[in-house]
Amino acid sequence: MKVLTILGSPRKNAASTAIANHFNEEATANGAEVTTYTLNDMDYKGCQGCNACKTGKESCVLNDDLTPLFESLKEADVVVVATPIYLGDVTAQLKGFFDRFYSTISPEYFETGIPTSRLPQGKKSLIIATQGAEETKHADIANRYDSYFETSGFKDRKIIRDCSRMDFTDKAPAATSITMAKTIAREFATA
């Protein structure tokens, strides 16, 4: 099993990163090969809206630090995305990735309305979202980004939300989030 982990937090010791690391450790213990990208350490541009990926090119025409990430995305069996929620959305770093994710959608989708993807079908995904607000707030964010994976043919999709994190001195994720991450890693490895 090949795991691609995309870390969206600008902070190295973020709770979202810690949860992803627990997932990765468990996945590795179950035989997975893990590749991790920390978006804040990368030099890349957001989508240029040029639509070259829909009018003759099979991928995004930009050549930057996201280019190898998108190559890893094609090969991955599991994609893990980890982000804190800032001002009601994923981080700017992760939003830039998802804007470029547009290049994975086949141009036929716009002609037929039937979701099609250039990515191999049947991948699995895990979205990890941490936030200061209580659990009743911002549930739509993880669900919205999960829908992009659904449109791209991901078959088994999970979400972990680690909420009520307003004490910024406590970087450790909730024990329940760690347990969930490890459980999902085992499920993905044995499915």
pLDDT above 80 (res 161): yes
Q: What is the pLDDT of residues 57-69, one digit of tens each?
A: 889 999 999 999 9
Give 187's contacts (C-beta < 8 A, 6+ positions apart): none
Reported confidence tier of residue 137, pLDDT bands at 50, 70, 90: very high
**What are residue 35's DSSP bridge partners?**
4
Instruction: Give the residue among 93, 98, 165 at the shortest CA–CA distance from 125.
Output: 98
Token pair in block for residue 151: 């449109």
| Whole-number pLDDT of residue 56 | 85
Which CATH homologous superfamily contains domain 2-190? Answer: Flavodoxin domain (3.40.50.360)
- Classify the phi-psi angles of 31: left when phi > 0, otherwise alpha if psi is within -120 to 50, otherwise beta: left
Please give the span between the terminal C-alpha atoms of the chain, in angstroms, as a whole number: 10
Is 0.85 surpassed by the pTM of this model?
yes
Instruction: Report percent pLDDT > 70 for the chain.
Output: 98
pLDDT tier for residue 191 given thresholds of 50, 70 and 90: confident
What's the mean per-residue pLDDT of the chain? 94
Q: What are the structure tokens assigned to 14, written together? A: 């973020």
Structure confidence at residue 122 (pLDDT)? 94
Residue closest to 42 by CA, chosen among 100, 123, 128, 116: 100
Segment (H or E) for 87: none
pLDDT tens, position by position, 15-57: 999 999 999 999 999 999 999 999 999 999 999 999 999 988 8
pLDDT at 168: 62
Angle between helices 66-75 and 92-101 (to 10 degrees): 60
7 φ/ψ angles, rounded to the nearest 5 degrees: -95, 120
